[in-house]
Structure 1
Amino acid sequence: MGLYPLFADLTGLPVLVVGGGHVAERKTAMLLSAGARVRVGAPALTPALLQQAEEGRIDHLAGSFQPAWLDDVWLVIAATDDHELNAEVAANAEQRRILANVVDAPALSRFQVPALVDRTPLTVAISTGGAAPVIARRVRETLETDLDHALGPLTALAQKYRTRITQRWPDMAERRAFYDWLHDGPVMALLRHAKPDEAEHVLLDALNAPASPSTKGSVLLVGAGPGDPGLLTLHALRALNRADVILHDSLVSEAVLTLARRDAERIDVGKRCGGRHTQQEQIHQLLLEQAQAGRVVVRLKGGDPFVFGRGGEEMAFLRQHGIPYEIVPGVTAAVACAAYAGIPLTHRDHARTVHLLTGHGKESMDAMDWPALAQDHQTMAVYMGVARLEEFTQRLLEHGRRPDTPFAIIENGTLPQQRVISGLLHELPARAKEHAIHPPALLVIGEVAALTHDHAWFGRLG
């Protein structure tokens, strides 16, 4: 194992940091957060350390290192840029049997300061024994994405009621099952929703109930973004790792689905053949059945659930049937695809407003305010409009939109096969036909669309 892992309680104990530079400043901040009484020994201090000394938060030992600085301290960190001085500090600490760490010198150190993932009171420490701190940092970055921030308050709540939990479930297997429920059930969900009082009430109800709490399923309505897995939010990634079953649209990329739990069941509920209402009802029933079976269900939608994703209907259905749910927003296609094509949806010189529209279905087309949409200096981002490009163009021109208004069609936006076709409004249908544009594709109309010529940075221009 090499090093013996240890979490030290330094509350109220004197510790010494030798050095007054920026490295010493970082080490001091960490020790202060652990409750230690920090002494910083150095001829001069950084402005931040000097302010802490003036405020009485640290003690400044001015001047060059003296062995007497080590009197009654519990550990010492040597953080100067003088190798000989650091070695002297370590040697004096060794004689007094005081644990010492010398920054960037593992051979001189009796302990290493690990990389931390802080979910107080839960703390995860990562160490390579000083061999490769950068690798420890990369591992920490991975854990930061995996570990839910609600784990901190959950651990604090479990700590608060630990004695009562042990008394309520003296059998270890039953107690373990309760902690699983605590982590996977409504308590954790409420903490994730920033509702600590409600979470505590649910925990107390479980402690006072005659039987163990039953596992109840839940649904997460999750936005998968437009396709590039790098655009997933941390909440979306964590949801995929919690899922027992995933109901996903056909537009959700395989690259995103591979990030899910390996044993999660996948159900493709993509709406083909026009997205009939009966298909949406089938999705509702699947959500209900899977949640009532006690499973964690992720309803994974391309883009954002609440932007032409019918997430509002599914949310209302779940609430009507008493199914707990969470909403995880996603990066919607208009924002992401336009950005990947080098098109700002708003621009001080070209676009004052943005309209998010759907060209899916005649009802959507008839409901649009065409005179308003025909005004200059605004951007239209049209979802699901490939099949109605000719009608869309005709209506805009009929209501006065300038024929030379720029457009851009972004096909397979954010994916490796992305391509952008651009031109002027009057030639839109012909250009789309010439290049055989197919869904998924986002249409952007407005002065900003012309910027793709100079600013496109991803994929290819048609």
Structure 2
Amino acid sequence: MTFFPLFHNTNHLKVLLIGGGNVAKRRVKTLVKAGVSFDLMSICVNDGITELVENAGGTVTLGAYDCDEVMRGYTFICALTDNRTVNHQIAVDAEAMGLLVNVADVPDDGNIIFGAIIDRAPLTIAINNGGASPVLSSILRQQLEQLVPKAYGQLSRLVGTYRPQVKKALPDTKQRSIFWHQVLQGPVAEAVFSGKHDDAESMLKDHLKEIDSGGNKIMNTGEVFLIGAGPGDPDLLTLRAFRLLQKADVVLYDALVSDGVMALVPESVERVYVGKRRANHSVPQTGINQLLVDYAKQGKRVARLKGGDPFIFGRGGEEIETLAQQHVPFQVVPGVTAASGCSAYSGIPLTHRDYAQSVRFVTGQLQDGSVNLPWPELIVEGQTLVFYMGLKGLPLICEQLLAHGMDINMPVALIEKGTTQDQRVLVSDLTQLPAMIEAEKVMSPSLFIVGRVVSLHDKLAWFTSSRES
């Protein structure tokens, strides 16, 4: 580690920037945002810099650096001129005076560097790589910006406000640490992230009352995260879903959750398979509902991972009904539903101005071998039909669509294991597809699309899986 990270109290810094070019302008903006007091001197100053400095309460002095006298009264010097020899001399003089000094483009000439900053005041995250690559630090900052919700700043302020009270209520360091871990990874934090700051503060106060009334009693509140895992590609998981997976104590997952998504679950998390395949339910739905309740009432954070979106043929509504009845806290995280994900990865837009002005999702899960669907409503020109869980009943579906008047040449597509490296797309028509899927031995999960938009597949297909390459 070449540069040791430290955070300075901005109230105790007085900065002099020497130089007036583009680098100086970036530094000025950084200091203004941080609320640091500063002045600037330079032979010439780029447009806009003087206004920025003066609006921040600083002064601009026109002139060249000639001696260390100009540094008197400052704690921090930025050498930002276009002349490396001058910058080096500024650094030598500043260090001789025991000052902090940053040198543009030559980090080793100074004793500090600027890092990329993620500002979630009062929480601040800084990234530095010893000045080797500012671009790399910037890229990492952009990635972390997505993973650290802006509400972390509000959470930091809330925790800071109640820290003295918690310290008084829980003098034992270990107990206090457990308390804060539960606050920062539990319903209080999630309420802040959801914009419910008053609810979060109320919950925190309630937990403090519990401690006051029960000695060193630590809260034991569980919660369920109903998470849509998407159709397969782990890159389609939402940032919120990823964040909640990282804080879960136990994950209940079904057969449609891909190995790629499961690989994102930390090794320390307990995994419970509750998969359901056609005619083979490892755990009945009522059992899954009860498991969620039981784990949550043990004080655990429970992630319920469901393929696709939990509210589109995912029975997520049934699960949270049970949670609501049992007064178990929960939240729902939408996922990319199979229709959207599989069609996109197949180059088949579900709607298109020239081909389809509406789309309809239909369950193809047939009961007792019967077909009980509103067929006349499905035979509409300019409409795309998407059948979920329709592999077993596909021959009957094709037969009934034709029997109720659908064009015999209507293009159809069967997408097997969509969005994954095992994706396969079979395109045909209503008369030939049943025989094709039997010959090709198509497996679940699969999605059946009917409509003129399927004809765009050859032109728009962009994703090539390992099976199709």
Q: TM-score normalized by structure 1?
A: 0.89
In structure 1, give the amino acid aligned to 2:453.
V
Matches within 5 A, 1:31-110: 31-41=31-41, 43-45=44-46, 49=49, 52=52, 56-57=55-56, 59=58, 61=60, 63=62, 65-66=64-65, 70=71, 72-110=73-111
The aligned counterpart of 1:340 is 345
Give 1:193 deviation, angstroms. 2.0
Give 1:246 deviation, angstroms. 0.8
Matches within 5 A, 1:279-428: 279-362=284-367, 368-428=373-433
- Equivalenced residue count is 460
Residues 260-289 of structure 1, C-alpha deviations (whole Å, 9 max, x = no match): 121111111011243669710010111111
Pick which of 124-133 and 405-414 moved more: 124-133
In structure 2, give the amino acid aligned to 1:120.
A
The aligned counterpart of 1:270 is 275
- CA, structure 1 residues 277+78, in 2 after alignment: closer, same or farther (shift >3 Å)? same
Pick which of 319-328 and 12-21 moved more: 12-21
Kept after mapping to 1: 8 A contact 2:53/2:59: yes
Pick which of 319-328 and 432-441 moved more: 432-441
Kept after mapping to 2: 8 A contact 1:370/1:395: yes
Q: Percent of aligned pairs with the same residue?
A: 39
The aligned counterpart of 1:441 is 446
Kept after mapping to 2: 8 A contact 1:225/1:330: yes
- Indicate the SS of the match to 2:256: coil
How far apart in 2 are the matches of 1:63 and 1:365?
A: 87
Kept after mapping to 1: 8 A contact 2:275/2:282: no
In structure 2, give the amino acid aligned to 1:3.
F
Q: Please list every run of 5 or more consecutive structure 1 residues that lacks an aligned counterpart in the other structure.
A: none
- CA, structure 1 residues 136+278, in 2 after alignment: closer, same or farther (shift >3 Å)? closer
- CA, structure 1 residues 173+374, in 2 after alignment: closer, same or farther (shift >3 Å)? same
Give 1:65 deviation, angstroms. 3.9
Give 1:364 deviation, angstroms. 12
Kept after mapping to 2: 8 A contact 1:17/1:38: yes
Give 1:350 deviation, angstroms. 2.0
The aligned counterpart of 1:6 is 6
Pick which of 195-204 and 419-428 moved more: 419-428
Pick which of 131-140 and 203-212 moved more: 131-140
- CA, structure 1 residues 109+393, in 2 after alignment: closer, same or farther (shift >3 Å)? same
How far apart in 2 are the matches of 1:126 and 1:416?
A: 35
Give 1:13 deviation, angstroms. 4.8
Residues 107-152 of structure 1, C-alpha deviations (whole Å, 9 max, x = no match): 1121011233333222222323224445545655665565555433
In structure 2, give the amino acid aligned to 1:72.
G
In structure 2, give the amino acid aligned to 1:36.
V
The aligned counterpart of 2:232 is 227
Root-mean-square deviation over aligned CA pairs? 2.9
Give 1:32 deviation, angstroms. 1.6
Kept after mapping to 2: 8 A contact 1:40/1:58: no
Residues 63-87 of structure 1, C-alpha deviations (whole Å, 9 max, x = no match): 5543576453332333455434433
- CA, structure 1 residues 435+100, in 2 after alignment: closer, same or farther (shift >3 Å)? same
- CA, structure 1 residues 51+402, in 2 after alignment: closer, same or farther (shift >3 Å)? farther
Give 1:207 deviation, angstroms. 2.4
In structure 2, give the amino acid aligned to 1:349.
D
Kept after mapping to 2: 8 A contact 1:19/1:41: yes
How far apart in 2 are the matches of 1:413 and 1:7?
A: 48
Q: Please list every run of 5 or more consecutive structure 2 residues that lacks an aligned counterpart in the other structure.
A: none
Kept after mapping to 1: 8 A contact 2:10/2:34: yes
- CA, structure 1 residues 279+109, in 2 after alignment: closer, same or farther (shift >3 Å)? same
How far apart in 2 are the matches of 1:24 and 1:142?
A: 26
The aligned counterpart of 1:122 is 123
How far apart in 2 are the matches of 1:115 and 1:365?
A: 62
In structure 2, give the amino acid aligned to 1:175.
R
- CA, structure 1 residues 387+75, in 2 after alignment: closer, same or farther (shift >3 Å)? same
Pick which of 124-133 and 225-234 moved more: 124-133
- CA, structure 1 residues 138+44, in 2 after alignment: closer, same or farther (shift >3 Å)? closer
Kept after mapping to 1: 8 A contact 2:53/2:60: no
In structure 2, give the amino acid aligned to 1:370.
W
How far apart in 1 are the matches of 2:351 and 2:415?
A: 17
Give 1:410 deviation, angstroms. 1.3
Kept after mapping to 2: 8 A contact 1:247/1:297: yes
The aligned counterpart of 1:113 is 114
- Indicate the SS of the match to 2:397: helix
The aligned counterpart of 1:181 is 182
Pick which of 424-433 and 253-262 moved more: 424-433
How far apart in 2 are the matches of 1:192 and 1:121?
A: 16
**1:244 maps to which of 249, 252, 261:** 249
Q: TM-score normalized by structure 2?
A: 0.88
- Indicate the SS of the match to 1:161: helix
How far apart in 1 are the matches of 2:40 and 2:397?
A: 70
- Indicate the SS of the match to 1:339: helix
- CA, structure 1 residues 52+443, in 2 after alignment: closer, same or farther (shift >3 Å)? farther
- Indicate the SS of the match to 2:10: coil
Pick which of 82-91 and 308-317 moved more: 82-91
- Indicate the SS of the match to 1:386: coil
- Indicate the SS of the match to 1:197: helix
- Indicate the SS of the match to 2:393: helix
